[in-house]
Amino acid sequence: MPDPHPVDLEPLKKEAALRAVALIQSGMRVGLGTGSTARYAILEIGRRVQNGELTGIVGVATSEASDVLAREAGLTVEDLDPRPLDIAIDGADEIAPNLDLIKGLGGALLREKLTEIQARRLIIIADHSKIVSQIGEKSPLPIEIARFGFLSTVERLRQIVPGGRLRQPGAQPYVTDNGNYIYDAQLALDGDIAALERQLKGTLGVVETGLFLGMAERAFVASTDGVRELSR
Ligand code: ABF
C-alpha cells in the first residue's frame, strides 16, 4: 500500500548537500558527483563561487550531465588528471554502516570511481532512504560492461551473481557516458562483498562495478529529524 504521508525527500537531499559543501574552502579542486542529491551540492558550490564566498575552485565532473550543470552554475570545470582532488562530494544508492557503498544507479559509476579514488576526502550525501544494514539490501549492484560481446559478459556475470538483468529502459540498452552498457545484479546478502568485488573485476568484459568499498570518509544523511554525520 502506498505511504499515505510520503516524506518529500528533496529538502532532505539539499540539507545533506549543504553540510558537505560547507567543508569546501577556496582554492580546492573538487570532485563533482552525479544525481539528484549531488545536483544540490553543485548548485550550492556555484552559488558560493558566484557571490565570492569561494574563490579559485576547480571542479572535476563525474558525468556529462554534471559537467553541463556545473558550467551553467558558473564553475570552472577541468578534466581529470593525475593530481589529487581535495574533496569529492557525491550521492549513493546504498550506504552500509561502515560506509561501504553501492553507486551507479544513475549510470555514472565509472567516472565516479575514477574521480573519487583520487579525492583526499570522499563525502557522501543522501537522504535516510539510502541507509542499509548490509550491502545489496535494497539496490541492485550496477556493473558497467563493454558493449562488444555483452551477451557473453552477461552470461559470465550470471554465473557469479545469478539474479540480474541488462539495464534496458526502452527498446535499446542504456548506454553510459563511456559508451558501455550496465548489468544490474541482485546480490545475495551475507556474502563476502570484497571477494565479490575482486571476482567481478576479474571477469572478462566487466569495466567497473558500483561497489565503493573503503572509499568514503564521511556521509551526511538527512531525515526529518535533521542531518546525521556518519564516519568510518
Ligand atoms: C550518483 O547518483 C550515483 O552513484 C548514484 O547512483 C546516484 C544517486 O542519485 P540520487 O542522489 O539521485 O539518489 O551519485
pLDDT per residue as tens digits for the range 139-180 = 999 999 999 999 999 999 999 998 899 999 999 999 999 999
Average pLDDT over residues 226-230: 98
Look up cell 528533496; give the residue: 10
Which residue type is seen at 32?
Answer: L
**Does residue 147 contact residue 179 with C-beta atoms inside 8 Å?**
yes
Q: Is a pLDDT exceeding 80 seen at residue 2?
A: no
Q: Is a pLDDT exceeding 70 seen at residue 3?
A: no
- How far is CA 56 from each of CA 38, 59, 81, 117, 122, rounded to the nearest angstrom? 20, 10, 17, 22, 20
Query: In whole numbers, what is the pLDDT of the chain averaged over residues?
Result: 96
Q: What percentage of residues in the chain have a pLDDT greater than 70?
A: 98
Average pLDDT over residues 204-217: 98
Compute, in angstroms, the gap from residue 203 CA to the centroid of ligand 1.
Answer: 25
Q: DSSP of 17-35, one letter per residue?
A: HHHHHTT--TT-EEEE--S
Compute, in angstroms, the gap from residue 20 CA to the centroid of ligand 1.
Answer: 15
Average pLDDT over residues 5-30: 95
At 4, is the pLDDT very low, low, confident or very high (cuts 50, 70, 90)? low
Give this prediction's pTM: 0.96
Nearest ligand 1 atom, CA 103: 4
Look up cell 562488444; give the residue: 148
Closest CA to 146 of 138, 160, 157, 135: 157
Give the residue, by CA position, lying nearest to ligand 1 atom 4: 103
Q: What are the b/e assignments for 5-28, b being 16+ CB within 10 Å?
A: eeeebeebbbbbbbbbbeebeeeb
Distance, in Å, from the CA atom of 82 to the CA atom of 29, rounded to the nearest integer, reads 12
10 is catalytic: no
At 191, is the pLDDT very low, low, confident or very high (cuts 50, 70, 90)? confident
Q: Is a pLDDT exceeding 80 seen at residue 5?
A: no
> Best mutation site among 12, 37, 42 for ligand 1, i.e. most ligand atoms within 8 A of its Cβ?
37
Compute, in angstroms, the gap from residue 143 CA to the centroid of ligand 1.
Answer: 14
Q: Is a pLDDT exceeding 90 seen at residue 61?
A: yes
Secondary element (H or E) of residue 195: helix 193-201
Average pLDDT over residues 69-79: 98
The answer to whether the complex's ipTM is over 0.85 is yes
Ligand 1: residues whose CB is within 6 Å?
33-38, 90-93, 103-106, 108-109, 112
Q: Catalytic residue among 112, 116, 144, 208, which?
A: 112
Give the residue, by CA position, lying nearest to ligand 1 atom 11: 37
